[in-house]
């Protein structure tokens, strides 16, 4: 997993396989002014945006009941997991939820 920064856009680049060598999964950065409506439930907002994209294998964030990101996130189509902060920013690669405690 490689985190990339393009202006206020933050994303993860995942190498999948020979048929889909690169995939960028968006993560919203610290500049919430670029994402009106995100408010105090950033994960809920990002999950809804991802679901509306209707892309096969699209990354759908896992959210807490309070609307923030769960600490342990997995990109199912890539089989890759990572630790995230409450706003969804990538912290480090992880193999299991305990890695994010």
Confidence tier at 30 by pLDDT (50, 70, 90): very low
d(CA 100, CA 81): 10
* Average pLDDT rounded to a whole number, residues 30-37: 52
The whole-angstrom separation of Cα 45 and Cα 68 is: 9
Instruction: Write out pLDDT tens, residues 75-92.
Output: 876 778 999 999 888 899
In the predicted structure, residue 28 carries a pLDDT above the cut 50: no
**pLDDT-derived band of residue 9, with 50, 70 and 90 as boundaries?**
very low
Residues in the chain: 101
Residue 35: pLDDT band with limits 50, 70, 90: low
- SS3 for 77? coil
How far apart CA 101 and CA 91 sit, in angstroms, is 12
What pLDDT was estimated at residue 64?
95
Q: Which residues of 36-64 are buried (b: 16+ CB within 10 A; e: fewer)?
A: eebeebbbbbbbebbeeeeeeebbbbbbe
Is residue 7 predicted with pLDDT exceeding 50? no
User: What's the pLDDT score for residue 22?
Assistant: 42
Q: How much is the pLDDT for 17? A: 46
């Amino acid at each position: 997993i490689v985190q990339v920064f393009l202006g206020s856009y933050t994303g993860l680049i995942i190498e999948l396989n020979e048929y889909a060598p690169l995939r960028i999964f968006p993560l919203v950065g610290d500049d919430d002014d670029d994402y009106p409506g995100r408010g105090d439930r950033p994960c809920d907002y990002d999950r809804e945006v991802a679901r509306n994209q209707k892309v096969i294998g699209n990354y759908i964030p896992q959210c807490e009941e309070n609307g923030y990101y769960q600490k342990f996130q997995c990109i199912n189509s890539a089989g890759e997991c990572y630790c995230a902060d409450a706003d969804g920013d990538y912290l480090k690669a992880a193999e299991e939820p305990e890695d994010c405690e």
